[in-house]
A and B are shown apart, each in its own frame.
Chain A
Amino acid sequence: MTKTTGLSLAALLLAAPLLGAHGAAAAPGLRIGLQEDPDFLDPARARSYVSRIVFASLCDKLIDTTPDLKFVPQLALSWTWSADNKTLTLKLRPGVTFQDGEPFDAEAVKFNLDRYRTMPESLRKSEIASIDHVDVVDPLTVNLVLKQPDAALVAQLTDRSGMMMAPKATATGNPTANPVCSGPFTFTERVAQDRIVLDRFANYWNAGAYHFDRVTFMPIPDTTVRLANLQSGGLDMIERMAATDVKTAQADPKLQVLSIPGLGFMTLEFNVTGDNAKTPLGQDKRVRQAFDLAIDRDALNGAVYEGRFTPGYQPFAPASPYHLEQPVPGRDVDKAKALLKAAGVTAPLTVKMTVANSTDAQQLGQVIQAMVAEAGFDLQLQTTEFATLLSQNGAGNFQTTMVAWSGRVDPDGNIHQFVTCKGGLNDMKYCNPEVDALLNGARGVTDPAERKAKYAAAMKIVEDDKPITYLDFEPRIFGATKALHGFVPHPDGMIRLQNVTLDK
C-alpha cells in the first residue's frame, strides 16, 4: 500500500461517522421549520406572526376557530352577550390546570385580561380596549363588562388577547424568558435564532389528542433552505412554503403539500392627502379607478405565484362569513383609457410606486408596471428595504405603495384601521365620514348579517373613492413529510397539533 492510499483510507475512516445518518440534530418528536425567529414568547408583548405559531402549542386560548372561521370552545365552554350587548359572559372549562399546577379559574381570566389591559408594555391594549372591567361571578363564570358594544371582542379572545398564562408564575417570574400557560406543551428551552423546544404537558385537559413528547421549532428564513431541510429529513414540517416551491415539493415522493386560502391579502395604497398626493392620481378618483382597471388579477396570480394565490378584491378572506359575494372585476383597458381621458390626463402619466425588496413584491410590481403601461401609466418602481418602506409609508412619503396584511379573523381588523379617518394604518390619509360611520357602526352590532351589510356598504364607498385596492389572498402553504398525518391547515396559518401523528 502506498503512502497516499493509506492516507486516503485513514481520511475515509475518519469521515465515515460524519457522513452517516442524515438529518439535523436527532431531536425526538416533531420538528417544525419557521420562517423567522419569534420575538417575545409572552402573549402580552408578542407582535410577530411566528410567535403565534409557537403559542398555538404552548398557550390555550379562551376560544378557538375552525377552518371555516367559526368559534369553538377552548378554555371557555360558552360565551353569551347580554341584551344590551355590553356584557359578555364566559363559562369556563372545569378541571383545567396551568403547566405549573396552578388551577385555571375565573380569577385567572381576570388576572390575564387585566394584565393585557393595563401592563405598560402590553400590545393587547387596543384589541380589548372596549372592556371596562372584568367581574368574577363564580369560579367558573366571568363577566366582561364593556364601555360600549364591541362585536370584534369574541374574535380577539381567539388570539393573543385570549391566551391564559398562569397568574402566579407570570406575576412573580419572567414570562418572556419562561412562559407558563395551559397549552398541550410546556416551554423547555430557547436558543435565539436556533430553536424553541416544547415538551409534553402530561396533565393537559385534552392530553389524549396530542401525540408528541417534544415539539421543536427551528427558524430558517430562506425558503429554499427550509425546503431542503424538509427534503433531507432535518425537519418534519415547514410553514409558509413559497408558492414557487410547491412544484418541487410535490415532485418529491416523500413529501406532501397542504394548503388553504389564508386571511392575509396584498393591497395597493394610493396617497390621497399631503404633498405626495398632489398628482392626478392623488387628486382624482377616476385616475385611481383607471389604474385599478388596468390590472388583471388572474394574470398576476399566474405570473408571480403559479396560480396558487386567490385573486381578490376585498379585505375579507374567502373562508370568512363576512366575505362579500361579489366577482373580482376583470381587466378593462379601454374603460381605463376613457377614465383617464375624462380626468383630463394626457398619457403617459408618471406614477411612482414603492415596493418591498422581496422577490415576490418586486415581481408583482413589474407585472403591474407592464399592465398599467397599456392604459397610459408610466409606473416607476422604487424598491425599498422593508423597515424603510414602513417608515416612509407612515410618513406619507409615497404616491402608491404595495403593502401586505397578515389578516385577522374578525372583519374589523382587516378594514377599520386602514380606511377610517384616524385609523392607525391609514397611511393614505383617506377620510370619509360616511365610511367612518358605517365601520364604527359595525362594531356596535353583534348580529353577523347586520354587520355584514354595513361592511358591504362601506366597501362600496371605498371601492369608488379608491384610496386602496386589493390584489389577492395569500394561501397558507405547509410542507410536510408523508409520515405526518392528521394535520388540518387553518386560514390563520397557525399549526394546531391536535390529532397530528408521525409514523416512526
Chain B
Amino acid sequence: MLSFIARRLALAIPTLVLVSLFTFSLQKLLPGDPVLALAGEERSPETLAMLRHKYHLDDPAPVQYLHWIGGVLHGDLGVSLKTEQPVTQMIGQKLPITVELAVLAMGIALLIGIPAGVIAAVRKGTATDLAANVVALAGISVPSFWLGVLMILLFAVKLHWLPASGFAPLWEDPLQNLRTLLMPSLVIGAALSASLMRHTRGAMLAVLRADYIRTARAKGLLSPAVILKHAFRNALVPIVTLVTLLFGELIGGAVLTEQVFTIPGFGKMIVDAVFTRDYAVVQGVVLCVACAFVGLNLLADVLYVLINPRMRASS
C-alpha cells in the first residue's frame, strides 16, 4: 500500500509541472495587459514602465516562468500584483473558507443525493422514482447564480431570516458563520446532489440486477439488509469516483456562488485575479487546486481498495 501511494505521488510531480506550465502559457495568451489593468486610470507611460519593471513583467516569458517556479520550490508563490500580499498568505486565508463551504455543500449533496438515489433505484418505475428524477434534472439544469439570487430575495429580503451575503469566520462567530454559509452551501449542494442521485441510482440498478442479490433474497434475507449490506456497498465504487470528480464541479460552483454571496473565498479570489490579470495569484490558486485534485484522486484509489477486497490484490 505504501509503495503504491509513493508511486502515485511521484507520478503527480510531472502532472503538477504540466498544469503550472499550461496555466502560465494560457495567461500569457490572454489578451489584456496586467499593468494596464493594474494602473486603471493612472496610466501614464512612466507609471506603466515602473509597474512593469517592479513586477518583472518586462522579462521574457520563459524567464518569468523560471522565476516563479524557482520561488515555488522555496515555498514562495510570489505576491499579488493588486495588493502586494504574499500569495501563500492569501491562500492560507481563503482556503479554509472554501474548504468549509465545500464540506458543507458536499455534506448536503451526500445527505440528499445518496438516499434519494437508493430509494429511486429500489422503487424503479414508480412515482417516487419519477419525482426523484424530475428534481434531479431540475437541480442539474438550474444555474447556481440564479438560484442564489432567488434565495437571497426570498430568505434575506422578504423573510429576513438569513443575511443576504457576507461571511463571518467560524472561530469568531460560529452561529453567524453557519448562517452566512447556509444558502451558498445549499445552492452548491443542490446541484451536486442531483448528479449524485442519478449516479447512485444507476449504480444501484446495475447491482440490484446481479445474481448474488437474487440469491441473497432467495435465501430469505430481508430487503433493507440486502440493499444496504449487499447492494449498496458494491455500488459505492463508482459513487466514490464520482464524489472525487464532483470536487472539480464544487470548485466551479464555488467560483459562481462565492461571487453571488460575496464570500471571500478561493473562487472569488480566482475570479478577481483573472479580471485584474493578477498572474501570481491565478498561478498559485491553480497549483493549489491541482494539488487538491491529485490528493483526492489518490484518496479515491485508497478508498477503492478498502471498499472492494478484490482490488487489494492488484494494488
Interface residues of A (CB under 8 A from B): 17-19, 22-26, 37, 39-40, 47-48, 120-121, 123, 125-126, 176, 191-194, 218-222, 224-225, 228-229, 231-234, 385-388, 390-392, 394, 405-406, 424-425
Contact indicator B179/A228 (Cβ below 8 Å): no
Interface-lining segment among B167-175, B217-225, B292-300: B167-175
Contact indicator A48/B182 (Cβ below 8 Å): no
Chain B residues near A394: list those with CB within 8 A: 33, 36, 43
In order of increasing CB-CB distance, the 10 nearest A-B pairs are A22-B160, A387-B32, A194-B264, A387-B37, A193-B264, A232-B156, A391-B33, A388-B32, A388-B31, A19-B161
B255 to chain A, nearest CB (A): 13
CA gap between A40 and B40 in the complex, in Å: 13
Chain A residues near B20: list those with CB within 8 A: none
Chain A residues near B168: list those with CB within 8 A: 24-25
CA gap between A55 and B83 in the complex, in Å: 16
Chain A residues near B272: list those with CB within 8 A: 37, 193
B88 to chain A, nearest CB (A): 14
CA gap between A386 and B261 in the complex, in Å: 23
Q: CB < 8 Å: which of A25, A192, A386 contacts B264?
A: A192
B6 to chain A, nearest CB (A): 38
Contact indicator A19/B162 (Cβ below 8 Å): yes
Contact indicator A18/B175 (Cβ below 8 Å): yes
Enumerate 21 A-B pairs (CB-CB under 8 Å) in ascending A order: A17-B175, A18-B162, A22-B156, A22-B161, A40-B83, A40-B84, A48-B40, A126-B46, A193-B272, A229-B165, A232-B156, A232-B163, A233-B160, A234-B163, A387-B32, A387-B33, A387-B34, A388-B31, A392-B31, A406-B41, A424-B44
CA gap between A353 and B82 in the complex, in Å: 30
Q: B31-60 CB contact bits vs A (8 Å, 1 = yes)?
A: 111101111111111110010001000000
Chain B residues near A22: list those with CB within 8 A: 156, 160-163
A398 to chain B, nearest CB (A): 13
- Asked if B286 is an interface residue, CB under 8 A from chain A, the answer is no
Chain B residues near A19: list those with CB within 8 A: 161-162, 179
Chain A residues near B156: list those with CB within 8 A: 22, 228-229, 231-232, 234
Within 8 A of A (CB), among B259-289: 259-262, 264, 268-269, 272, 275-277
Chain B residues near A390: list those with CB within 8 A: 32-33, 36-37, 43
Q: B52-70 CB contact bits vs A (8 Å, 1 = yes)?
A: 0010000000000000000
With A387-B37, A406-B41: A234-B46 Cβ-Cβ less than 8 Å? no
Number of A-B contacts (CB under 8 A): 152
With A192-B85, A232-B164: A385-B39 Cβ-Cβ less than 8 Å? no
Contact indicator B167/A194 (Cβ below 8 Å): yes
A450 to chain B, nearest CB (A): 27
Contact indicator B164/A225 (Cβ below 8 Å): yes
Chain B residues near A232: list those with CB within 8 A: 156-157, 160, 163-164
Task: Give the size of the chain B interface in residues (CB under 8 angstroms).
Answer: 57
Interface secondary structure of A, over-half rule: loop
- Asked if B194 is an interface residue, CB under 8 A from chain A, the answer is no
A464 to chain B, nearest CB (A): 27
Chain A residues near B36: list those with CB within 8 A: 387, 390-391, 394
Contact indicator B44/A126 (Cβ below 8 Å): yes
Contact indicator A225/B175 (Cβ below 8 Å): no
- Asked if B90 is an interface residue, CB under 8 A from chain A, the answer is yes
- Asked if B104 is an interface residue, CB under 8 A from chain A, the answer is no
Chain B residue with the shortest CB-CB distance to A120: B50
Chain A residues near B260: list those with CB within 8 A: 222, 225
Chain B residue with the shortest CB-CB distance to A176: B84
Q: CB < 8 Å: which of A37, A40, A120, A228 contacts B153?
A: A228
CA gap between A451 and B169 in the complex, in Å: 55
CA gap between A155 and B161 in the complex, in Å: 47
Contact indicator A25/B262 (Cβ below 8 Å): no
A382 to chain B, nearest CB (A): 12
Contact indicator B38/A47 (Cβ below 8 Å): yes
Chain A residues near B160: list those with CB within 8 A: 22-23, 232-233
- Asked if B180 is an interface residue, CB under 8 A from chain A, the answer is yes
Contact indicator B50/A228 (Cβ below 8 Å): no
CA gap between A379 and B153 in the complex, in Å: 38
A468 to chain B, nearest CB (A): 16
Chain A residues near B40: list those with CB within 8 A: 47-48
B232 to chain A, nearest CB (A): 22
> Which interface residue of A192, A233, A405 has the most chain B CB atoms within 10 A?
A192
Chain A residue with the shortest CB-CB distance to B261: A225
Within 8 A of A (CB), among B13-45: 30-34, 36-45
Chain B residue with the shortest CB-CB distance to A407: B41
Q: CB < 8 Å: which of B43, B83, B262, B276 contacts A225?
A: B262
CA gap between A175 and B214 in the complex, in Å: 74
Chain A residues near B173: list those with CB within 8 A: 25
CA gap between A120 and B50 in the complex, in Å: 8
B98 to chain A, nearest CB (A): 12
A246 to chain B, nearest CB (A): 16
Q: CB < 8 Å: which of A18, A233, A424 contacts B179?
A: A18
Contact indicator B166/A218 (Cβ below 8 Å): yes
Chain A residues near B44: list those with CB within 8 A: 126, 424
A173 to chain B, nearest CB (A): 15
CA gap between A25 and B248 in the complex, in Å: 30
- Asked if B176 is an interface residue, CB under 8 A from chain A, the answer is yes
Chain A residues near B83: list those with CB within 8 A: 39-40, 176, 192
B144 to chain A, nearest CB (A): 14
With A39-B83, A386-B275: A234-B43 Cβ-Cβ less than 8 Å? no
B262 to chain A, nearest CB (A): 5
CA gap between A107 and B277 in the complex, in Å: 39
Q: B178-222 CB contact bits vs A (8 Å, 1 = yes)?
A: 111010000000000000000000000000000000000000000
